[in-house]
C-alpha cells in the first residue's frame, strides 16, 4: 500500500531530529519521523560494561547491529572494515533518542568566541577554520528552549566565563561528589573558577519524571528511573501526542529523492520488515549525525546533483570533526572516588579561549565513573600490563585514581572526511560510509596544553603521583561527538547548508544535527545540537506555506 503523502520527513530521531519533529508537529505539519533503530529499553543491558556505549567489545547496546552495518576506515591505501564492536566506528547509537539515551548529558552552551573562531584567531594554515554564519546571540533563545524543554540542572552564575543568558537553567545544579569537591577546592586555591557541571539530568523531579538517584552506571547506559533527559522521553513523546507525527522505527532511509527541478520529493527506505518503501513529503530534514547524514546525502544522486544532494561543490562529508579527549590522572592515598553516578560533577572554563598561543582550548572536568574493564588500561607509564602487580594496582587504586579531562576544540581539516565506499555495502545493499584523514597538528599541541593544566590541578589536590594522557594525534576524528560534515555557511561554494540548515540550491531539504556545525567547540556538543534543532525547526515553521516551502 502506498504511504500517505505528508508535509515533512525527518530522518533520524536523535538530538536534532527529535526536536525538529516536535517543532513541526506542534505547529500543525504532518510529520513522519524515521529511525533506523528501535525504542531503547534499559533492561536489555543493565550494568553490563562490555555491552555499553563506553565499551562495545561484545555488542552495541543501542544499535546499530554490528553484523548489518559495517563502515570503512581508510588509511592511505589501507582499507579496514569496522563495526561498532571492532572500534574506530564512530558509533553514537541507533535508537529512538540516539546518543541522548546513553550520554553523560553535559549541557554546555558554546561560548561567544566559538562562533567566530576565524575572526578571533585568524587564518590557520592547513585548516578550514571559519566563523559561523550565525552568532551566539542568534542561538541564545534556542539554547534556552533546549534547556527548558529537554531539562537542564545547573547554575551558570558560578561560571564567570559563561556566555550571557536571559533565563536561568530550570533545575538547581547537582552537588559535587567527593572527587568533585577535592578538585573544586584545589582549583580555587590555584585561582581558577570551578563550578557544577550543567547536566541534562533531573536534579529534582521534573516533567513527570523522578530526580536522579546517582546510579553508578550512568554515562554509557540508559537510565533505569528515566531521570536522564533525552529526546526520547521529552520532545518525541510531545510530537507523537499531537497526532501529527508518526514515528517509524527500524526503518532505514537509504536515499532522498530529488526531482528534475532540484526539489526533494521524499525518501526511499527499507521498512521494519526490510521491504523497500517510498515516502513522499513536501520537505525533508536529515538528522542522522555527521557520518550517516553525509552518507545519505552522498548516496542521493540526481540529475542536477550527480555527486549527491548538495554536493556540487564537493563539501559534503568534508571537515569531519569530533573531540580529542585529553587530560591527566592522579593517584591519591585515600578513596577519592565514591562512585555515585554519573561521576563527573565539577568543571572549569578557564582554559576555553584567552590562553596565549592556544586556539580555542577546552573545558576541563572530572571524569564519568570508570568501570572495571576500562580501568585495566589506566596505569602510570611503564606499569605492568598484567600479572600480580597489575592486579594489585586494580585492587588498591580503583577508588583512588582521579582524572581531570576535557575535549579540545579541534581544527577542521578539509581532507578529514566521510565518503561512500562503492564496494562495501550494508545488509540492505547500500554503499557504506568511509572515514579518512588525519587530525590537524595543532590539536596535539592544544591537547598537551590542556593536559598540563589538568595535571597542575591534580598536583594541587594532593595526588601522590600524576601522569598525563595526551590525545589529538592520528585520525580520522569523529566518535560520539562527530560533527562538521555538512557545514553551515553563506557561500554555496564553501559550505553545504545556509544559516538555517537549508541545503544551498535545494530549498526543501534541510540538515539539523552536528553536521552543520562549523566548529565543534571545546565542549560536549549535545545542547548545541539541540539548540540548532530548535533554530532550524523555527525557520521551517515560519517559512512553510501550505504544501510548498518558500525559502
Partner 1 sequence: MFASTKKSILNSLEFSKASKQNEYIKTCNSENKTNNNLSMTTINRRTFIKAASITYGSILLFPSCLTSPGNFRFFTDEEAKCITALCEQIIPADESPGATSAGIINYIDKQLTEVFHYDQTTYRDSIKNLQHYCTKTFGKRFENIEFDQQTNILTSLESGELTKEDWPDGNASSFFNLILSHTMQGFYGSPIHGGNKNYMSFEMLRIDYPLVIGQNRYRS
Provide the 3-class DSSP secondary structure of residue 514: helix
Pick one of 38, 168, 399, 400: the residue that binds partner 1 (CB under 8 A).
399
Query: 1 vs 386, which CB is nearer to partner 1?
Result: 386
276 in contact with partner 1 (CB under 8 A): no
Please provide residue 492's backbone torsions phi and psi, each rounded to the nearest 5 degrees. -65, -15
423 in contact with partner 1 (CB under 8 A): yes
Cα 289 from Cα 529, distance rounded (Å) = 10
The grid cell for 494 is: 564553501
Question: Of the ranges 165-173, 302-310, 337-345, 507-515, which one interacts with partner 1 (CB under 8 A)?
Answer: 337-345
- C-alpha angle 371/42/54, rounded to 5°? 30
Distance of CA 248 to the CA centre of its chain: 23
Question: Of the ranges 148-156, 283-291, 379-387, 505-513, which one interacts with partner 1 (CB under 8 A)?
Answer: 379-387
Q: Which residue has the cell 553490563?
A: 48
The grid cell for 202 is: 533531573
Question: Of the ranges 4-12, 162-170, 229-237, 417-425, which one interacts with partner 1 (CB under 8 A)?
Answer: 417-425
Query: 331 vs 532, which CB is nearer to partner 1?
Result: 331
Cα 186 from Cα 194, distance rounded (Å) = 9
Pick one of 16, 18, 40, 70: the residue that binds partner 1 (CB under 8 A).
70
Q: Which residue has the cell 580520522?
A: 476
Query: 401 vs 498, which CB is nearer to partner 1?
Result: 401
What is the footprint of partner 1 within residues 192-231 (CB under 8 A)?
A: 213-217, 224-225
Cβ neighbors of 101 (< 8 A, separation 6 or more) are 40, 62, 93, 95, 222, 228, 230, 232
427 in contact with partner 1 (CB under 8 A): yes
465 in contact with partner 1 (CB under 8 A): no
Pick one of 385, 422, 545, 550: the residue that binds partner 1 (CB under 8 A).
385
Report whether 518 contacts 497 (CB < 8 A).
no
338 in contact with partner 1 (CB under 8 A): yes
Other CB atoms within 10 Å distance of the CB of residue 456: 17
Query: 165 vs 390, which CB is nearer to partner 1?
Result: 390
> Cβ of residue 308: shortest distance to partner 1, in angstroms?
21
Cβ neighbors of 303 (< 8 A, separation 6 or more) are 260
Cα 221 from Cα 226, distance rounded (Å) = 11
**Partner residues linked to 405 by β-bridges:** 327, 365
- Element spanning 196, H or E: strand 195-196
67 in contact with partner 1 (CB under 8 A): yes
Cis peptide before 64 (omega within 30 of 0): yes
Cα 173 from Cα 193, distance rounded (Å) = 16
438 in contact with partner 1 (CB under 8 A): no
Pick one of 372, 381, 382, 546: the residue that binds partner 1 (CB under 8 A).
372
Query: 202 vs 352, which CB is nearer to partner 1?
Result: 202
Pick one of 35, 49, 147, 513: the residue that binds partner 1 (CB under 8 A).
49
Q: Per residue in 212-231, is it b (16+ CB within 10 Å) or e — as a string?
A: bebbebbbbbbbeebbbbbb
Query: 295 vs 453, which CB is nearer to partner 1?
Result: 295
Query: 216 vs 448, which CB is nearer to partner 1?
Result: 216
Using only C-alpha atoms, the chain has a radius of gyration, in whole angstroms, of 22
381 in contact with partner 1 (CB under 8 A): no
> Cβ of residue 368: shortest distance to partner 1, in angstroms?
15
> Cβ of residue 384: shortest distance to partner 1, in angstroms?
10
Q: Phi/psi zone of residue 243: left (φ > 0), alpha (ψ -120 to 50 degrees), beta?
A: left
Cα 126 from Cα 68, distance rounded (Å) = 36
Question: Of the ranges 24-32, 138-146, 200-208, 331-339, which one interacts with partner 1 (CB under 8 A)?
Answer: 331-339
> Cβ of residue 226: shortest distance to partner 1, in angstroms?
11
Cβ neighbors of 273 (< 8 A, separation 6 or more) are none
- Element spanning 248, H or E: strand 245-248
> Cβ of residue 56: shortest distance to partner 1, in angstroms?
10
Pick one of 39, 58, 268, 313: the residue that binds partner 1 (CB under 8 A).
58
Pick one of 381, 429, 546, 550: the residue that binds partner 1 (CB under 8 A).
429
> Cβ of residue 500: shortest distance to partner 1, in angstroms?
36
The interface mask with partner 1, positions 166-195, x = CB under 8 A, is: ------------------------------
Query: 369 vs 502, which CB is nearer to partner 1?
Result: 369
Other CB atoms within 10 Å distance of the CB of residue 157: 12
CA separation, residue 146 to residues 58, 108, 532 (Å): 34, 11, 9
Cα 195 from Cα 241, distance rounded (Å) = 37
Query: 359 vs 418, which CB is nearer to partner 1?
Result: 418
339 in contact with partner 1 (CB under 8 A): yes
> Cβ of residue 294: shortest distance to partner 1, in angstroms?
19
541 in contact with partner 1 (CB under 8 A): no
Other CB atoms within 10 Å distance of the CB of residue 276: 12
How long a stretch of residues is the chain?
Answer: 551
How many residues at the interface with partner 1, by CB under 8 A? 48
Query: 183 vs 222, which CB is nearer to partner 1?
Result: 222
Report whether 167 contacts 132 (CB < 8 A).
no
Which of 391, 406, 382, 409 shows the shortest CA–CA distance to 519?
409
Question: Of the ranges 168-176, 395-403, 409-417, 488-496, which one interacts with partner 1 (CB under 8 A)?
Answer: 395-403
Question: Of the ranges 18-26, 158-166, 345-353, 366-374, which one interacts with partner 1 (CB under 8 A)?
Answer: 366-374
48 in contact with partner 1 (CB under 8 A): yes
What is the footprint of partner 1 within residues 108-127 (CB under 8 A)?
A: none
Kindly list the residues in this chain that would bind partner 1 in the complex (CB under 8 A). 46-50, 57-59, 67, 70, 81, 83, 85, 213-217, 224-225, 335, 338-340, 371-373, 375-376, 385-388, 390-392, 394-395, 398-399, 423-429, 432
Amino acid at each position: 500500500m502506498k504511504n500517505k503523502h505528508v508535509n515533512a520527513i525527518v530522518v533520524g530521531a536523535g538530538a536534532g531530529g527529535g526536536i525538529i519533529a516536535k517543532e513541526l508537529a506542534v505547529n500543525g505539519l504532518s510529520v513522519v519521523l524515521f529511525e533506523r533503530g528501535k525504542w531503547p529499553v534499559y533492561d536489555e543491558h543493565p550494568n553490563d560494561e562490555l555491552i555499553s556505549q563506553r565499551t562495545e567489545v561484545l555488542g552495541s547496546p543501542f544499535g546499530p547491529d554490528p553484523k548489518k552495518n559495517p563502515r570503512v576506515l581508510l588509511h592511505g591505501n589501507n582499507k579496514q572494515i569496522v563495526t561498532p564492536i571492532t572500534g574506530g566506528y564512530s558509533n553514537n547509537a541507533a535508537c529512538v533518542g540516539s546518543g541522548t539515551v546513553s550520554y553523560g548529558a553535559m549541557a554546555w552552551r558554546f561560548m561567544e568566541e566559538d562562533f567566530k573562531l576565524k575572526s578571533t584567531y585568524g587564518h590557520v594554515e592547513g585548516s578550514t577554520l571559519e566563523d559561523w554564519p550565525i552568532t551566539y546571540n542568534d542561538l541564545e533563545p534556542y539554547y534556552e528552549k533546549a534547556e527548558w524543554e529537554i531539562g537542564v540542572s545547573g547554575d551558570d552564575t558560578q561560571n564567570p566565563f559563561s556566555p550571557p543568558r536571559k533565563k536561568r537553567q530550570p533545575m538547581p545544579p547537582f552537588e559535587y561528589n567527593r572527587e568533585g569537591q577535592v578538585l573544586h577546592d584545589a582549583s580555587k586555591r590555584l585561582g581558577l573558577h570551578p563550578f557544577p557541571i550543567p547536566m541534562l539530568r533531573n536534579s529534582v523531579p521534573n516533567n513527570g519524571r523522578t530526580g536522579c538517584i546517582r546510579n553508578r552506571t550512568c554515562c554509557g547506559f540508559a537510565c533505569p528511573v528515566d531521570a536522564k533527559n533525552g529526546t526520547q522521553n521529552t520532545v518525541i513523546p510531545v510530537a507523537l501526542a499531537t497526532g501529527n507525527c508518526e514515528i517509524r522505527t527500524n526503518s532505514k532511509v537509504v536515499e532522498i529523492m530529488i526531482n528534475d527541478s532540484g526539489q526533494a520529493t521524499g525518501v526511499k527506505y527499507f521498512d521494519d520488515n526490510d521491504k523497500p518503501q517510498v515516502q513522499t513529503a513536501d520537505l525533508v530534514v536529515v538528522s542522522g549525525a555527521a557520518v550517516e547524514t553525509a552518507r545519505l546525502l552522498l548516496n542521493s544522486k540526481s540529475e542536477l546533483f550527480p555527486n549527491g544532494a548538495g554536493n556540487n561543490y564537493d563539501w559534503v562529508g568534508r571537515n569531519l570533526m569530533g573531540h580529542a579527549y585529553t587530560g591527566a590522572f592522579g593517584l591519591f592515598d585515600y578513596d577519592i572516588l565514591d562512585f555515585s553516578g554519573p561521576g563527573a560533577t565539577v568543571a572549569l572554563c578557564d582554559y576555553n579561549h584567552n590562553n596565549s598561543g592556544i586556539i580555542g582550548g577546552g573545558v576541563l572536568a572530572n571524569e564519568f565513573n570508570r568501570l572495571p574493564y576500562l580501568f585495566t588500561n589506566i596505569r602510570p607509564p611503564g606499569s605492568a600490563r598484567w600479572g600480580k602487580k597489575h592486579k594489585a594496582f586494580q585492587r588498591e587504586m580503583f577508588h583512588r585514581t582521579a582524572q581531570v579531562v576535557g575535549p579540545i576544540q579541534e581544527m577542521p581539516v578539509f581532507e578529514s572526511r566521510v565518503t561512500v565506499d562503492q564496494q562495501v555495502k550494508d545488509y540492505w545493499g547500500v554503499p557504506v560510509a568511509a572515514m579518512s584523514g588525519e587530525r590537524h597538528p595543532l590539536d596535539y599541541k592544544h591537547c598537551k596544553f590542556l593536559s598540563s593544566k589538568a595535571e597542575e590541578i591534580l598536583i594541587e589536590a594532593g595526588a601522590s603521583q600524576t601522569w598525563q594522557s595526551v590525545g589529538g594525534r592520528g585520525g580520522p576524528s569523529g566518535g560520539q561527538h562527530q560533527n562538521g560534515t555538512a557545514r553551515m555557511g553563506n557561500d554555496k561554494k564553501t559550505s553545504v547548508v545556509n544559516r538555517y540548515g537549508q541545503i544551498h540550491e535545494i530549498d526543501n531539504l534541510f540538515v539539523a544535527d552536528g553536521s552543520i556545525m562549523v566548529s565543534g567547540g571545546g565542549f560536549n556538543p549535545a545542547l548545541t545540537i539541540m539548540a540548532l534543532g530548535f533554530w532550524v525547526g523555527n525557520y521551517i515553521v515560519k517559512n512553510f506555506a501550505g504544501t510548498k516551502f518558500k525559502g
